[in-house]
Amino acid sequence: MLHVGANDMVRLRRDGPAIMIEGPPPPGPSVVSKPMVTVSEPSDFEIAIPEGSGRLLYVMSEGASVYVSQSLERIAHAAPLVLRPLSAVRFIENRNGLHETLFAGLRSFPAGTTVRYINGTISVAWAYDSLRDTTRQNPAEVLQDIVASVESDALVGIDFSGGLDSTAILHAVRALAARRLVACTWHDPHGSAPDDLEWAQRIAKQLKVEHIVVLIDDRLLLNVPSRSIPGMPTSALAFRGVMDNRQEALRSHFRGAPFSTINGHGGDQVFLDPVPAEVLLSILRRTPSKTASAWRAYRSLYGIDPLRVMWHAYGRAVHRSALLSAYARALQPLAREGGAKLHRRHALIREAIVQNSASFHGDGEVRTIHPFTDTRMIRCALAYQDHELFNAEHSRHPLRRGLEQRYGHCDFFRKGKGHMTGAYQRAIRSRESDFRDMIAHGRLAGEGLINIEAAHRALRRCAMGYAGVPHDLMTLLCAELLLKALENLKHA
């Protein structure tokens, strides 16, 4: 039995009937929860990634060898990473499979996964799939218990946007008065909701919490990462520079002392906000008696007819990204199967856990806690049926109501919050020529996957502010950024 730490890489080689483990991992403690690699029987091994682990685990098969590491860089140094064109197409069209990466033979696994390698075949079990809970709890009380795990003398920085999740966390941690706490808000002064900062400042002042502000610099967005490279394109990669800047601001505030951060990402998926079309269909199938009232509430909440949403998601022909070449589209012809994937709530929860794991970018000194993808919070949310999670006035109704009961404030009923679209548009506008060149001469175009003219038109529309940043364009840019980062590794 051995541990795979944050920067460890283990090579398992099938040598006759047995698997040989070549070389122990580097000495020293890991900074994250350590998954265990066990050779249980000849030709077999099992990897259990603990619930709550902060990073993805990568498993790569190459010939007779299997490489296991939490660091993509370590695997890239040990074995060549070969771009898989079909996977790139799937990511651009938001149809990628579970555990899929951009590379042939490489799969990624989040916390709670058990990976079994038996006779050359990998099978996967995910602990959260079996989670069920019928015991109703106040989500605010559960959140309080989760953040109580932070040591009483710890220095704590909270990513505080003023939105529901971060406001809930700030209230919960503030109730634990012994901790030294600072709320950190990144702010775009040219953003879509200029009152976001005033809202955050008001809450921090009301709770008597120190508050620092990190201004968003467009130059920090959409850059080539130098470390903690993910195996797939993610929006977290595009935002990496801002998060690094936030971390440096907290380190400076705490004068170099060790600290923990708490981030609220995942609350949207766990408590369903916005309510997706898949949930409307789930209500119809599982609780038909609740369909009429739930759909009326949806219409009032979002101002759109649920039938229109269902038609948009399932009734139309499949949309293909205009950024893809004819060759790329031919790689995976699609039948008329609807324009959206049918997600269960567990799939949305899995998505949040993967996003939190893929967003890890620390230097090993900072512990990041994600309370909303903690097993206790997931159990709490699953105790509520789909139709109970929203009403005519608010999404995430059980969470909002529980927070109001626990803390007695109205801070939890704000309906809108700003977004980062404008900052990304400005970043693209200021470096449009660089991005045009990256698209035209990048790896995906080199594989014949990209309609370069269409991609350049999409880039121009985005730079001019005519549209937001479409998923396919953002994914294309992030894919090229991570491929460039891996290329840089070869010359480091």
DSSP assignments along 201-264, one per residue: HHHHHHTT-EEEEEEPPGGGSS---SSS--SS--HHHHTHHHHHHHHHHHHHHTTT---EEE--
| pLDDT for residue 122 | 77
Q: What's the token pair of residue 70?
A: 């939490």
- Plot region of 105 (φ>0 → left; ψ -120 to 50 → alpha; else → beta): left
Q: What is the pLDDT of residue 3?
A: 45
Per-domain boundaries in the chain = 10-18+35-129, 139-271+345-419, 421-491
pLDDT of residue 12: 54
Query: Judging by beta carbons within 10 Å of its beta carbon (0-12, 13-18, 19+), is residue 132 exposed, middle or buried?
Result: exposed
Q: What is the pLDDT of residue 151?
A: 76
Strands 9-15 and 44-48: unpaired
DSSP code, position 120: T
In one-letter notation, the amino acid at residue 441 is H
Element (H, E) at 59: strand 57-62
**pLDDT tens string 186-215:** 888 876 566 788 889 999 999 999 999 998
First to last CA, the chain: 33
**Quick one: pLDDT at residue 334?**
56
Name the CATH architecture for the domain at 139-271+345-419.
3-Layer(aba) Sandwich (3.40)
What is the reported pLDDT for 339? 37
Which residues 6+ apart lie within 8 Å of 130 measured at CB? none
Q: How far is CA 71 from CA 22, 227, 354, 360, in A?
A: 17, 9, 15, 11
Please, are residues 90 and 317 in contact by the beta-carbon 8 Å criterion? no
- Within the chain, which residues score under 70 in pLDDT? 1-44, 52-53, 133, 177-179, 191-194, 315-319, 334-344, 360-365, 416-419
DSSP one-letter string for 312-362: IIIISPPP--TTB-HHHHHHS---S--SS----HHHHHHHHHHHHHHT---
Q: What is the distance between the alpha carbons of residues 219 and 217, in angstroms, rounded to a whole number?
A: 5
Pairing of strands 65-69, 44-48: unpaired
pLDDT of 344 reads: 67
Closest alpha carbon to 212 in 252, 182, 242: 182
**373 in Cβ contact with 349 (< 8 Å):** yes
Nearest to 56 by CA among 95, 106, 96: 106
What per-residue confidence (pLDDT) applies to 416? 66
Spatial separation of the C-alpha atoms in residues 152 and 389, rounded to whole Å? 33
